[in-house]
Structure 1
Amino acid sequence: MNAIRTAGATALVVALLGSAAVTVAWRGAAADTSTGELRLGAPGTLVTVDAKGHRVRQTTRDGKELATGPDCRRAAVAAGTLVCLQGLPGPFSSEVRVYRSGKAEPEVTLPVWGNPSRARVSPSGHLVAWTVFRSGDSYAASGQFSTTAGIYDLRDGSHYGSLEDFAVFVDGERSQSQDMNFWGVTFAGDDRTFYATMAANGRTHLVRGDLSTRELRALRTNVECPSLSPDEQRIAYKKKVGDHWQLHVLDLGTGADTPLAAPAGVDDQAAWLDNGTVAYGRADHGKPFVYTVPADGSGEPVKLVEGSSPTVATAVR
């Protein structure tokens, strides 16, 4: 990482950490609960983002709306925790807002430099992650955007800043690449291990991260937007095939790579409904819908509900 980018990333983290003590508070607009209260710990329900007003919607898998919640550009839920990534007025300005079951206002609010891209919650509900697009990195050409991913621990308020500040290892060697970008975090159940995408030197990598050591290790190339299965044995992801993306599932134990029956061009971080089913968002005649497809490569896509950014509510642990 070059000096200009390091200085910028460090300044951003210091600013976030310095403001966290002030902004970690009960603030923000109350959730709209006109159709009922968000039940974030209701197992099996879908949480999506409405295309019209960017409003969080909670539905059954057959499309029955149960509740609506806060405005979010990206959202994710697990174990009674909802993370909401919302854009603010002005260029490249966002907030990460974290809601807990039974609360109409955010428990945590964090300022973020960038436009909303991805969001995730760990299986325990203790960790939240986000990805934003931003501009201004010294290595990027004029008009180009980069991505930044961050992680926050709700238990003790630990802010891990940008993944750019972690030590990165590729083929066993410490990487000194100046153009690293990170996006698409997905968590394991130990509240320490996570996976993400790293781009550097014109290639994308699946990386495994360790919060305790603040290290990232590259595992495989041509992997974007990973999503770890509930049994933690496989990763659903999008893979560049020619000039388009194709959803695949990677077996972490054997290395076997299975293309899914989803159509080409799906640009989403998939989510697992269960160990056998992958969900994703895709536009149909200009409207986003949630589809599912078997994780073993068989079958055909099934349209579930209108909306984007799908995740599945799980029981509070």
Structure 2
Amino acid sequence: MTTRNRLLILVAAVAVLACVAGAAVWHASDRAARKNTEQAGGPPVVQGAVSLAPAGPRLMVFRNMAWGPHRDELATVPAASPGATRTASGVRCLRFHAAAGTGICLQSVHGTVQDTYRAVVLDSHLNETRHYPLNGIPTRARVAPSGHLAAWTVFVGGDSYAGTDFSTRTSILDLRTGRLDASLEDFTILKDGHRYRAADVNFWGVTFADDGHFYATLATGGKTYLIRGDIAARTVTTLRPNVECPSLSPDGTRLVFKKRVPDLSPDAPWRLYALDLATMRETPLAETRSVDDQAVWTDDRTVAYSLPGDFGADLYTVPADGTGTPRTLTPAALAPAYIG
């Protein structure tokens, strides 16, 4: 055998070995990727169009928390089939809510030095119509049933409601006029029938009654209060103590809220309650775990809320009248809104 032939055989052998090694590496990496996906679990997600227009079958739109390329994107499923394959929009939000074809999306903006945050108003096709800088970490968002008003809350100092060492700022935006009330702290507080001022005032968790009125939480003096706000008069009036993150029912008759219960852990102090606004009678809900969320009404009888899970957060539901038992709505999801 000539030297040339030996070289040709050697080159061919090296090429074959390289192909075999490459195939082995590809197979191993593909198997590892499949294994990681299987271990991660979670619902299937596909890219597609997401609409906030209230037309056709009822939908649930939410922040997708499943690991993968669509994490943190707004996604949708049929409200009647929350376990169905999710359609992801490509629009990322930390907090979200929508009503009547209008959405509010609280986003992080990645910078070279540090991240910043902004509130983005979305139309029914998830196109940005305007945005506003935020001076803190997004925590709550709401749109009025009419779609004419939006509200949001951020942590200016601290990052948890569990303790007392935090500061919030809550804003209300009129989408018809463009007027932004940057802080509810500028409103006049009527507490126990008298004007009230204090340096430690904080507001959070707006829920709209109509285009002129809302409910929210006021914190001051180490206590929290349910307030009713009048946007035109720029006043808030205390109604009841120990109410946080209220959420008004679609018929406007009840609030579901989180309440601090004595003797529970200071890190997990809340239980869900319902409040009849006509009688001011409280009813504890069947969920006995601590819920640090602003619940969303799925209909006039049921509320949805998040609890920590393997993906960061899972959604659960429970009847709003104190009966029944909690059940999983869908895993790996946060900040739902019902459309249609």
User: TM above 0.5, one fold?
Assistant: yes
- Which segment drifts farther, 259-268 or 247-256? 259-268
Q: Is the 8 A contact 2:52 2:123 kept in 1?
A: no
Q: Is the 8 A contact 1:92 1:113 kept in 2?
A: no
Query: 1:123-162, aligned counterparts within 5 Å?
Result: 123-135=145-157, 144-162=165-183
CA 1:157–1:33 in 2, change beyond 3 Å: closer, same or farther? farther
Query: 1:1-317, aligned counterparts within 5 Å?
Result: 34-42=47-55, 44-51=58-65, 52=67, 53-61=71-79, 62-63=81-82, 64-65=84-85, 67-69=87-89, 70-89=91-110, 93-102=116-125, 104-135=126-157, 144-189=165-210, 191-242=211-262, 243=264, 244-285=269-310, 287-306=312-331, 307-314=333-340
**Relative contact order, higher structure (CA 8 A, sep 6+):** 1
Q: CA deviation at 1:92?
A: 7.7
Q: CA deviation at 1:68?
A: 2.2
Q: CA deviation at 1:54?
A: 1.5
Question: In the alignment, residue 106 of structure 1 is paired with which amino acid?
Answer: E
Q: CA deviation at 1:129?
A: 0.5
- Find the residue that maps to 2:260 and give its secondary structure: strand
Measure the CA separation in 2 of the matches of 1:204 and 1:84: 26
Q: CA deviation at 1:287?
A: 4.1
Measure the CA separation in 2 of the matches of 1:153 and 1:215: 16
Structure index of larger Rg: 2
CA 1:155–1:33 in 2, change beyond 3 Å: closer, same or farther? farther
Measure the CA separation in 2 of the matches of 1:44 and 1:37: 13
Q: Is the 8 A contact 1:41 1:80 kept in 2?
A: yes
Alignment deviations for residues 211-244 of structure 1 (CA, whole Å, 9 cap, x no partner): 1100000000000000000111100000001232
Alignment deviations for residues 74-127 of structure 1 (CA, whole Å, 9 cap, x no partner): 00011111110012346683110011113x430111111111100000000110
RMSD of aligned alpha carbons: 2.0
- Which segment drifts farther, 151-160 or 304-313? 304-313
Q: Is the 8 A contact 1:273 1:312 kept in 2?
A: yes
- Find the residue that maps to 2:313 and give its secondary structure: strand
TM (norm. structure 1) is 0.82
Q: CA deviation at 1:296?
A: 0.6
Measure the CA separation in 2 of the matches of 1:57 and 1:37: 7
Structure 1 residue runs of 4+, over 3 Å off?
A: 89-93, 284-287
Question: In the alignment, residue 180 of structure 2 is paired with which amino acid?
Answer: H
Q: Higher helix share goes to which structure?
A: 2
Measure the CA separation in 2 of the matches of 1:169 and 1:101: 37
Q: Is the 8 A contact 2:52 2:100 kept in 1?
A: no
Q: Is the 8 A contact 1:73 1:85 kept in 2?
A: yes
Q: Percent identity?
A: 43
- Which segment drifts farther, 115-124 or 288-297? 288-297
Q: Is the 8 A contact 1:224 1:238 kept in 2?
A: yes
Measure the CA separation in 2 of the matches of 1:40 and 1:145: 37
Aligned equivalent of 2:3: none
- Find the residue that maps to 1:109 and give its secondary structure: strand
- Find the residue that maps to 2:185 and give its secondary structure: helix
CA 1:95–1:264 in 2, change beyond 3 Å: closer, same or farther? same
Measure the CA separation in 1 of the matches of 2:73 and 2:314: 14
Gapped regions of structure 2 (runs ≥ 5): 1-44, 159-163
Measure the CA separation in 1 of the matches of 2:139 and 2:124: 24
Q: CA deviation at 1:67?
A: 3.0
- Which segment drifts farther, 127-136 or 42-51? 42-51
Q: Is the 8 A contact 2:271 2:284 kept in 1?
A: yes
Q: CA deviation at 1:33?
A: 8.7
Question: In the alignment, residue 87 of structure 1 is paired with which amino acid?
Answer: S
Alignment deviations for residues 173-219 of structure 1 (CA, whole Å, 9 cap, x no partner): 11111100010000013x00001001000000000001110000000
Measure the CA separation in 2 of the matches of 1:91 and 1:265: 32
Q: Is the 8 A contact 1:128 1:152 kept in 2?
A: yes
Aligned equivalent of 2:14: none
Aligned equivalent of 2:9: none
Alignment deviations for residues 46-91 of structure 1 (CA, whole Å, 9 cap, x no partner): 1211224211111123222453231000000111111100123466
Gapped regions of structure 1 (runs ≥ 5): 1-31, 137-142
Question: In the alignment, residue 50 of structure 2 is paired with which amino acid?
Answer: E
